[in-house]
Amino acid sequence: MRFEQFTIFQPAESRGDMSFGGDFTDNPAAPTTGSSSFTGGAFATFLLGIPDGGDISSLHNIDYHRQIYAGYAEDDWKATDRLTLNLGLRYEVFSTIKEHNNELATFDFNSLSLVVPKGQDMPLTPFLASLLPIQRNASRGLISPDRNNFAPRIGFAYRVTNKLVMRAGYGIFYGGQENGPFSNPSPGFNPPFYLQQTFQQTNCFDSSANPAQEDCSIPNLSVLANGYPASSLSDPNNPQFYSLSPKLRTPYNQQWHFGPQYQLPGDTVLEASYAGSRGLKLYGFYNGNEAAPIA
């Protein structure tokens, strides 16, 4: 049995970051036709203190932990004078990863709702609460553990002659120690535990969009000296969601090898071997917002 604990401390943009471009110092006499043709300078815009974008997020600390249980049995069996078998079986259980304060969630694509552990009562922000249902009935690990992690091992050595031996082996090895979807990002970065707000500029890249030279500054983020408004994270309206597949299984790797060993003079052995491996049930990530391809 082994207890594993790992912490993700994510300051991110807890004080915010801002970007500065050349649009606010553009030359009015040289109309802009695209974002690559600015005549202004980003550093000059910075000196003026007029940002053209920014991000700010909450300070977040995630304390993950889980238990790992494993057992192994092995035996060598001399079937004949020439053939020896090595047989083994390992069984492993990786408990679902939990967060110390139950501050993790998963987005359910079937019900289009946010799922949190039972007893977790942190509320959603008003904007999210008006759009997104929340289910508070999940287990602490959000999904069920994979209890089918049997890993057989088999090998043999066959003596063809007194100087030539054929050897082969096959085994399954589970990779449950990998954090995978609990690295960064992970379910601990879902609302309402982690909040992020992005401030974006309106379309000012094309002079035809603002023929009267309208004010293109960002509402509530128009001057660097004022910083971000105190209400930046009180009700963000552009959250990001992360989802765990309810069918998530422990990834594993099949490994095998086969080859001869031949004894040469002078206590020297010549060996040639073919080795291969294959990964199965590997972790994968995809963007749930991507449109399905059409014919």
Alpha helices in the chain (DSSP H): 42-48, 126-131
pLDDT at 185: 76
What's the rounded Cα separation, in Å, for the pair 143 and 206? 49
Mean pLDDT of 12-40: 67
| pLDDT at residue 214, rounded to an integer | 54
Within a domain: 288: no
β-strands 134-138, 113-117 pairing: parallel
CA dist 15 and 36 (Å) reads 29
CA nearest neighbour of 189 among 80, 58, 76: 58
If phi over 0 gives left and psi between -120 and 50 gives alpha, with beta otherwise, what is residue 36?
alpha
pTM to 2 decimal places: 0.74
**Which residues pair with residue 64 across a beta bridge?**
6, 99
Quick one: three-class SS letters along 196-238?
EEEEECCCCCCHHHCCCCCCCCECCECCHHHCCCCCCCCCCCC
In eight-state DSSP terms, residue 291 is P
How far apart are alpha carbons 67 and 71 in whole angstroms?
14
Of 290, 47, 271, nearest to 166 by C-alpha is 271
Interval 94-142: pLDDT, tens: 998 899 999 999 999 889 999 999 999 999 888 888 888 999 999 999 9
- CA distances 263 to 22, 142, 156, 162, 223, Å, are 74, 56, 18, 9, 80
pLDDT tens by residue, 157-173: 999 999 999 999 999 99
Pairing of the two strands 164-174 and 150-159 = antiparallel
Q: 186, 62 in Cβ contact below 8 A?
A: yes
Look at residue 293 and tell me if it is in a domain: no
Query: Would 54 be classed as within a structural domain?
Result: yes
Higher pLDDT, 5 or 242: 242
Contact call for residues 236 and 260 (beta carbons, < 8 A): no
In a domain? residue 294: no
Per the model's pLDDT, the better-predicted residue between 148 and 207 turns out to be 148
- Mean pLDDT of the 141-146 span: 91
User: Using one digit for the tens of pLDDT, what is the confidence trace for 172-218?
Assistant: 999 876 767 887 778 888 888 888 888 877 655 555 555 555 566 67
Could you tell me how far CA 117 lies from the centroid of its own chain?
20
Q: Determine, yes or no, domain membership for 295.
A: no
Q: Is 188 helix (H, G, I), strand (E, B) or coil?
A: helix
The answer to whether position 153 is within a domain reads yes
286 lies in some domain: no
With cut-offs at 50, 70 and 90, classify the pLDDT of residue 256.
very high
Residue 255 belongs to domain spanning:
2-280
Residue 61 maps to a domain: yes
Q: 120-124 long-range contacts, Cβ below 8 Å, gap at least 24?
A: 122/192, 122/193, 123/192, 124/191, 124/192
**Buried-state track 35-49, b at ≥16 Cβ within 10 A, e below 16:** eeebebebeebbeee
Total domain count for the chain? Answer: 1
